[in-house]
Each structure stands twice: as C-alpha cells, then as structure tokens.
Amino acid sequence: MLDPQGLIEYAEDIPELDRPVLIQALDGFVDAGSVRRLVREQLLASSDAVLVTFDVDQLIDYRSRRPPMVFEQDHWSGYDEPRLAVHLLRDDTGTAFLLLEGPEPDYQWERFLAAVALVVDRFDVRLTVGLNAIPMAVPHTRPVGVIAHATSADLVADHPSWIDRVQVPGSAGNLLEYRLGQAGHEAIGFAVHVPHYLAQSEFPASAVALLESVTKAAGLVLPTGELRAAATRTAAEIDTQVAENAEVAEVVRALEQQYDAFVAGAGRSLLSQGTSEPLPSADELGEAFELFLAQQPAPEDSDDPENPPV
C-alpha cells in the first residue's frame, strides 16, 4: 500500500481540540430517504473551517460520477469539484466536533482508511460515529427504528438487536468502523430505518432519529428544529397521499400490523419468525440492499448536484 500520508493535506491553522468526536457521513452507499444528506446539510450549517482535505484525484472515478459543470452561452463558468474533507463544527453548546464528508472513494479504500486513521490519531478522536439510512418494511406511522453497531458491545448496550446475521454490500464508511476497531479505536454506527415505499423521497423523520442517536452516543447537542418541522410537514403530505390511494393504504395497514406484532414480542430479532406476518429473511434483506442500489440513477443523470445518487 502506498503511504496514506500522501492523501492528506492539513490546514495551516489547526486549533487545539479536546478529544473531539468525528462523525463520518460519506456519500456513495445506501441513503434511503436522503437522510444522510439531510443530516449532513444540517451539521454543515455550523462549520467553522476545513481542517483536512484528501487528494480526491487519486480516489475518484470521474467517468462513473461525472462532476457537474455549468455552461453559460459561450463559455464554461463553473465546476463542482469533488471534495473529501474533515470540517470543524460546533454543537449548540459550542463544543467542537469533526465531520468527514464527501464522495465515497472508488479506489484505494485501504489507503484512504489508513489516512483517516492518521487523522483520528492526529486529533486524538475519542469516538467515530457513522451515519446510514436503509430501506425497511416498516410503516411511516410508527416510531423510527435504528440499528446500532460498534467496535465494543458496551457502546450499543442500550440499543435493541434488530438483526441476527446478514451479508450486505460493503461500504468505505462501514469498513472504516471495522478497521478502527481493529486498531483499538472506539467507533459506532447508526442505520436508521426508512419505510421502503418512501426510500426515494426525503424522509426527515429518520434524519431526526439519526441526529438523536448521535447526540446520545457522542454527548453532543445537535440542532433538530428545522428537521422536526420538515418531518411534521412531510408526515401530513404522506397521510394525505395514503388516504387517496386505497392500495397504498392497505400496504401501510399491513406494515402497521407487522410492526405492532414485532413490538409486542420485544426482545426478538427483526429476523425472528414469531409474528403473525412473515418478516424478511437475511437473504431477502440483503437482496433489498442490492435492489435499492441498482435502482439508483446513473450519477451523470442526476439533476441535483447537492443530492448525488448512491
């Protein structure tokens, strides 16, 4: 492996930090309901500075995710350069934390993750938190579920187990958690549930649940007001649409019955078969991941550069 230090460039002015939390929100893997994007945009509103940038020219396949350019009349007037960066942010109490964001690398995963580990060491990061949002056969009318995973069982002791064992496509973000654990660093990740029938739309309720999970795990006070308001508006819109479509309403009722049966059997895995309605098997859940990824439009076809497809 090439020297990972060659991927990193630090800002000239690095402030003193007291063992900050690092939140990693890389684009490229499953982002049902655009939840990770919503959370990232909320957090970046408090950005103080960019402390670290990575050499994306060595990491990105430009032909598979062509960066947008702007043409005006007779000349090129803009280019949306891809950037992988670590931002310095502050929560509502002024506590500093870090955010790693940008496109998931196409190449050199292990070198990139080793470079992130160098950043973790440089800033003496006490906890790394990963963000994900996955499509699930759950109704929008029930509380948002969260799957928690970590390098130590103690970090997720307060979270129920939803899944026994399942194989899904890998991601740089999840592999980062794995590698940090192997190196003795503490890391935790959260995957919030998004109703599968809303996976292609923004679902801010899950963004709120994701931020709440990070707040609890990291001891940060993160803003959720705007997302809560958006969640209320979205819920009303969804209820209206469901009420106007009998077929969709029947699907939602079936999901409600399945969800309620699961909650009644508290302590069981999501993949156990003790409910009156059949729940997805591990293979089916893995296939759902694959299907969701396959359904995403090609990057160059996206009309929204701020919402890149997964």
Given a cut of 80, is residue 285 above it in pLDDT?
Answer: no
Q: Which of 121, 117, 185 is nearest to 151 (CA)?
A: 185
Given a cut of 60, is residue 281 above it in pLDDT?
Answer: no
The pLDDT, as a whole number, for residue 23 is 98
CA 182 to chain CA mean position, Å: 22
The pLDDT, as a whole number, for residue 261 is 83
Greater model confidence, 31 or 163: 31
Q: Which domains does the chain have, with CATH numbers?
A: 18-301 (3.40.50.10900)
Greater model confidence, 304 or 209: 209
Residue 171 and residue 230 in contact, taking contact as beta carbons nearer than 8 Å: no
| Residues ≥6 apart with Cβ < 8 Å to 214 | 23, 129, 131, 190, 220, 222
Give the model's confidence band at 183: pLDDT under 50 very low, under 70 low, under 90 confident, else very high: very high
Q: Which of 133, 245, 117, 256 is nearest to 187 (CA)?
A: 117
C-alpha torsion 172→177→182→183, nearest 10 = 100
Residue 110 and residue 222 in contact, taking contact as beta carbons nearer than 8 Å: no
User: Residue 275 and residue 126: Cα distance in Å, rounded?
Assistant: 40
Given a cut of 70, is residue 280 above it in pLDDT?
Answer: no
Query: Would you state the structure tokens that stand for residue 78, as one six-digit string?
Result: 């803009």
**Section 225-254 average pLDDT:** 91
Given a cut of 50, is residue 302 above it in pLDDT?
Answer: no
Residue 222 and residue 215 in contact, taking contact as beta carbons nearer than 8 Å: yes
State pTM to two decimals.
Answer: 0.83
Residue 103 and residue 27 in contact, taking contact as beta carbons nearer than 8 Å: yes
* Residues forming a β-bridge with 107: none
Burial 83-98 (b: 16+ CB within 10 A, else e): ebbbbbbebeeeebbb
Task: Give the angle subtended at the CA of 50 by the CAs of 45 and 55, to the nearest 5°.
Answer: 125
Q: Which residue has the tokens 């549930």?
A: 193
Q: What is the length of the chain?
A: 310
Of 70-84, 101-115, 154-168, least confident by mean pLDDT is: 154-168
Residue 13 and residue 177 in contact, taking contact as beta carbons nearer than 8 Å: no
Burial 117-156 (b: 16+ CB within 10 A, else e): bebbeebebebbbbbbbbbbbbbbeeebbbbbbbbeeebb
**Section 215-234 average pLDDT:** 94
CA dihedral (153, 155, 158, 164) positive or negative: negative
Query: Would you state the structure tokens that stand for residue 253, as one six-digit string?
Result: 């009722």
